[in-house]
Structure 1
Amino acid sequence: MGNLQNLQTLDLRGNILVVLPNTMSRLRNLKHLLFPNFYFFTSWGIGWSRVTFGNDALTKVETLKCIRAVDLIRYDAVIPLRNIRDLGIRGFTSAKEVCLVLQSLNSHSQLGHLRSLWMELEKGEFPKLELLSHCHVLTRLRLVGALSQENLSLLPERLSKLELRLCLLNQDKLSVMEKLPNLRILRINKDRVPQKWVFSVNGFPKLEILTLVELPRLEEWEVEEGAMRNLKRLEIRNIPRLRMIPEGLKYVTSLGELNICQMEWAFKNRVRVNEQGIVGEDFYKQTYSGKYTPQAYAVGGVVLTSFIKAVSNVELNPVGTLLRAIF
């Protein structure tokens, strides 16, 4: 591999496991390097080893995804990334390692050029992320690991896409997050959120896509009138204790797609029309003043498109027919 001196893009995603030669560190002209979730380096085809990138090995790289922290940090020093724009690092084992990477990027004046950032912390809590305030063009951020309320308040206002996983969210943290003025896409995944949380009036003013996945403690979700007023798509997946969709969802007139997956049958039955044409208790929450249904439904993981105006039970029956096809 070391002979491919003109190679600029190496995309290894989609592979379950990749074994790479140590000579990969000689590829000096790489601009886009995307690792798979699991990869190893080998020396002369015998045994596993750790790749040794020289200080100039990644200087031209603009996209670096899914690299392990251990391959980027050596003896408390970070390999320089002087042209990085899109960065994804997994396997941080301490807050100190996170600080080392952010400080290195700041010292090379690269924080101001980052467009997307993904950091996965395996142990402990993220350190203070005040350096993220230097990320003036950062629009996409993914954080995996415990996150303080203060860190949420330090997120750049330009963020349009945010994914949080295992961040230990609570109502106070949510109240900070919903003030992000330009956030359009939010995904909350595998988090121990409280039993009840509230999306307050005027919260998430530009949010268009909300995905909630595997929130085992959430039982009640309240949406105040005026919250998420631009929401177009909502996905609720595998939240076993959630009893019903929020009452306030009926005020979200922009909602065009509701996707319900891996939920209890009692929950699903509340939002659909059954085979006898009986409307579920929460079906009206998908409408505004009982006049319009969302344009797309998904129950059980399949999205169905509908342009039905639900103004009477007769007009609701066709929706029930569509939903029956996937139950």
Structure 2
Amino acid sequence: MTTFTRRQWPKVLIHLRYLGLKGCSIPQDIFKKFSFYNLQTIDLNGSVLDTEEETLDLCDLVIPTLKHVYGSLFFQLPLNWDKHTNLQTIVDVLIHIESVVELGFCTNLRTLVISIDTDLDNERVIIEWQNIKSVLIRTEHLVYLSIGTMRLLPFGGTKDLPCHGKIQKLILNGVWERNICVPSVEMFPTNLTKLKLTRSKLQEDPMPILERLQSLRILYLDYSSYMGTELICLTGGFRNLEILKLLRLPNLHHWDIKDGAMPILRHLKIYDCGKLNVLPELQKVRTLQELTVYYPSHELWEGMQMEGEDVHKIKHIPSVRISRGYLP
């Protein structure tokens, strides 16, 4: 991590468009020292304050030209959101629960990445979710939405996303209600090109629903997103899927790919699915260009070695990587 002293900061920042302080130790009062008349981007990703304070001192800062804010998960960024209506990007900005509704003033948002406070119980999470929904109602131009919580994520599908017609990328990180399944394809925006589910703990195979998302190109089923034992990809499903990643699905032991499923899949990653002992019939997916298997079960490892029972399924793939340790 880089540390700057106050003497090293330039004195004139009037013409500055981009302020990048990623991974830095920065003065808590940095925004009190300079004028940022033309600043468009603030990037504080991974930064920390050089004091023990938990909030950056913005001193009623107003930058009308500001469009993109990448915050830090190590301190609060209490920006006057109602004075920054030109904002298009808000990523990893820690905001007090009482202030979430103020994001509704940023009606030009295209990208919103927000986390619900991990210290809240499920009852308070539901309250904050209502506040987030009131923001989404006003962000009609939203294209990329990511919402995460270590607790319950009371996501209600497109009925919670009035702007869902334009959303193309959706990341949901949090536990859905007990025994919840994906009820219908209408739960997701129709123009979705990327979907990532993490810790959803779905009990029923989501593939028969997700494979009907006609625009979906990238699908990540990450850490404990699915708790069932079997995945089935049906004929004609995932017509436009190009990238599929399965990560830490703890109970998955059988995966069936029917003829004609995923007809243009190019990249497949299977990470730490320890009960998956046999590969699906990947020879049916002739478009595959890359297969990565990380932390396989002992049986799958043996099956993918020379003369193993899975070798005939992957001979057509130009790039195959399998590792019991960390991949680069």
TM beyond 0.5: yes
Q: Any unmatched runs of 5+ in structure 2?
A: 1-30
Q: Per-residue deviation at 1:151? A: 7.4
**Aligned residue for 2:126?**
95
| Larger displacement relative to structure 2 (264-273 or 82-91) | 264-273
Q: Per-residue deviation at 1:233? A: 0.6
Any idea what the Cα deviations from partners look like across 1:34-54, whole Å, max 9, x if unmatched? 123x2214xxxxxxxxx5443
Instruction: Give yes or no for contact 2:115–2:148 (8 Å, CA) kept in 1.
Output: yes
Pick closer, same or farther for the CA change 1:190–1:282 going to 2, 3 Å.
same
SS at match of 2:82: coil
Q: Per-residue deviation at 1:225? A: 1.4
**Aligned residue for 2:222?**
189
Pick closer, same or farther for the CA change 1:75–1:265 going to 2, 3 Å.
closer
Aligned partner of 1:60: which letter? N
Aligned partner of 1:62: which letter? Q
What is the RMSD computed on CA atoms of the aligned residues? 2.4
Count of paired positions: 276
Rounded to whole Å, the distance in 2 between the matches of 1:165 and 1:181 is 22
**Aligned residue for 1:324?**
none
Rounded to whole Å, the distance in 2 between the matches of 1:178 and 1:25 is 48
Instruction: Give yes or no for contact 1:256–1:295 (8 Å, CA) kept in 2.
Output: yes
**Aligned residue for 2:148?**
120
| Higher normalized strand content (fraction of residues) | 1
Give 1:14-25 correspondences, 5 Å limit.
15=46, 17-18=48-49, 21-23=56-58
Q: Per-residue deviation at 1:56? A: 2.0
**Aligned residue for 2:102?**
78
Pick closer, same or farther for the CA change 1:25–1:95 going to 2, 3 Å.
farther
Instruction: Give yes or no for contact 1:12–1:35 (8 Å, CA) kept in 2.
Output: yes
SS at match of 1:269: helix
Instruction: Give yes or no for contact 1:260–1:268 (8 Å, CA) kept in 2.
Output: no
Q: Any unmatched runs of 5+ in structure 1?
A: 42-50, 274-278, 288-292, 304-327
1:294 and 2:312 equivalent? no
Q: Per-residue deviation at 1:170? A: 3.6
Q: Per-residue deviation at 1:17? A: 4.1
Instruction: Give yes or no for contact 1:171–1:198 (8 Å, CA) kept in 2.
Output: no
SS at match of 1:74: helix
Pick closer, same or farther for the CA change 1:140–1:233 going to 2, 3 Å.
same
Rounded to whole Å, the distance in 1 between the matches of 2:165 and 2:58 is 36
Aligned partner of 2:42: which letter? L
**Aligned residue for 1:281?**
309
**Aligned residue for 1:251?**
284
| TM-score, reference length from structure 1 | 0.76
Instruction: Give yes or no for contact 1:213–1:238 (8 Å, CA) kept in 2.
Output: yes
| Larger displacement relative to structure 2 (73-82 or 116-125) | 73-82
Instruction: Give yes or no for contact 2:205–2:231 (8 Å, CA) kept in 1.
Output: no
Pick closer, same or farther for the CA change 1:259–1:21 going to 2, 3 Å.
same
Instruction: Determine what percentage of the aligned residue pairs are the same residue.
Output: 25
Aligned partner of 2:212: which letter? K
1:134 and 2:169 equivalent? no
Aligned partner of 1:96: which letter? I
Instruction: Give yes or no for contact 2:144–2:169 (8 Å, CA) kept in 1.
Output: yes
Any idea what the Cα deviations from partners look like across 1:6-46, whole Å, max 9, x if unmatched? 32211122x2645652217514232111123x2214xxxxx
**Aligned residue for 2:269?**
235
**Aligned residue for 1:290?**
none
Pick closer, same or farther for the CA change 1:59–1:258 going to 2, 3 Å.
same
